[in-house]
Amino acid sequence: MEMMRYECVAETVTTADGYRMAAGCICRQQAAEDIRAELLKLSDYRVKSRDLYGIDFDLAARLGSFAHNAVIAAGASLCVPDAACGEGETTGGVLGDPAEKPESSDEDIVDLSENFYMYTVPGGPGLAANSFGDTVRQALCEIRSIGFDALDEDAFRHVMRKYGITVALLVFDGTGEGRHAKIGAMDLNGVRIVE
Residue 1 is assigned to a structural domain of this protein: no
- Percent pLDDT > 90 in the chain is 81
Residue 188 is assigned to a structural domain of this protein: yes
Residue 94 bridge partners (DSSP): 76
Cβ neighbours of 135 (radius 10 Å): 17
Give the pLDDT confidence of 113-133 residue by residue, as tens digits: 889 999 999 888 999 999 999
Residue 30's domain comprises 6-194
Give the pLDDT score at 57: 93
Residue 113 is assigned to a structural domain of this protein: yes
Residue 140 is assigned to a structural domain of this protein: yes
The mean per-residue pLDDT over the stretch 5-24 comes to 96
Residues 6+ apart with CB under 8 A from 145: none
Q: Do 79 and 19 form a contact (C-beta atoms < 8 A)? A: yes
Please calculate the CA angle 80-50-145 and round it to the nearest 5 degrees. Answer: 55
For residue 80, the SS3 value is coil
Give the pLDDT score at 93: 94
Please provide the distance, in angstroms rounded to a whole number, between the alpha carbons at the two ends of the chain: 30
Give the pLDDT score at 122: 87
Residue 60 is assigned to a structural domain of this protein: yes
Residue 37 is assigned to a structural domain of this protein: yes
Give the pLDDT confidence of 35-77 residue by residue, as tens digits: 999 999 999 999 999 998 999 999 999 999 988 889 999 999 9
Cβ neighbours of 190 (radius 10 Å): 10
Residue 28 is assigned to a structural domain of this protein: yes
- Per-chain mean pLDDT for the chain: 93
| Total domains present in the chain | 1
Tell which residue, 157, 163, 167, has the closest CA to residue 114. 167
Q: Of all helices (H) and strands (E), which one includes residue 93?
A: strand 93-96
